[in-house]
Amino acid sequence: MENKAYKLLAEQLNISGKRAKELIDRGLVYVGDKKVKIARATLPIETKFRVEMPDSVEKIFEDDNILVVNKPAFIDSYEVEAIYPYAKLIHRLDRETSGVLLLAKNEDFLKKAIEEFRNRRVQKFYSAWVEGVVYEEIVIDAPIHTIKGPKSISKIDNKLGKEAITIVKPNEIQGKKSKVDIEIKTGRTHQIRLHLSYIGHPIVGDEQYGSVTKAKRLLLHAKGIKIFGKEYKAKEPKDIQRYK
């Protein structure tokens, strides 16, 4: 016999169907080493699930104007904002991306910070594991056009795209995978993911943009941001420190 995945999970964990569906939609539920991607998919009733909850949000720095946290993977930026109701998001990270996230503690600072991002005066640094071997620095200058929707997707488009610049530097090589350091000069939707795929080195675990390697998440970490002359850094999680 079979039943829908979220119903089986709800029964197994003694939680509501809504909560079970939410856990699956957030990418936290596994059967063996495979992530359960579709809450309404039918599975055998004897299926055993494993739920891997995200790490806690770590506070990096706080003063009268700014709150800086290390966002774990599998938590939405808006969920972080909900944890700290006295602060508002200055920018966002994708759900599966970990790392430095900035929040403003007053409207005046929020406006000033957003203006810094808009005028490209903020430096943004990332770490990632990618498919293939990266031997040398690569500067990617390819315009990006984003099609908005429930699951936005970005494409390289010389006519409709907006300027996007990404700098990629090799850091470490393990077999046919490379750890790279990244700096982005612009902030387009899925910029790093698309640009790395565009040069033939998609981020490990990023099936949407061409990764062929199964992973618990796309292995991308926002390791540092420099704004108003101050740099804030987030410690790399274990899956970024070492690939295997």
Place of tokens 């949407």: 208
Using CA atoms, how far apart are residues 229 and 234, in angstroms rounded to an integer?
17
Report the catalytic residues: 94
Place of tokens 């998609």: 202
- HSE (CB half, 13 Å, CA atoms) of 74? 18
Q: Which residues of 159-197 are buried (b: 16+ CB within 10 A; e: fewer)?
A: eebeebbbbbebeeeeeebbbbbbbbeeebbbbbbbbbb
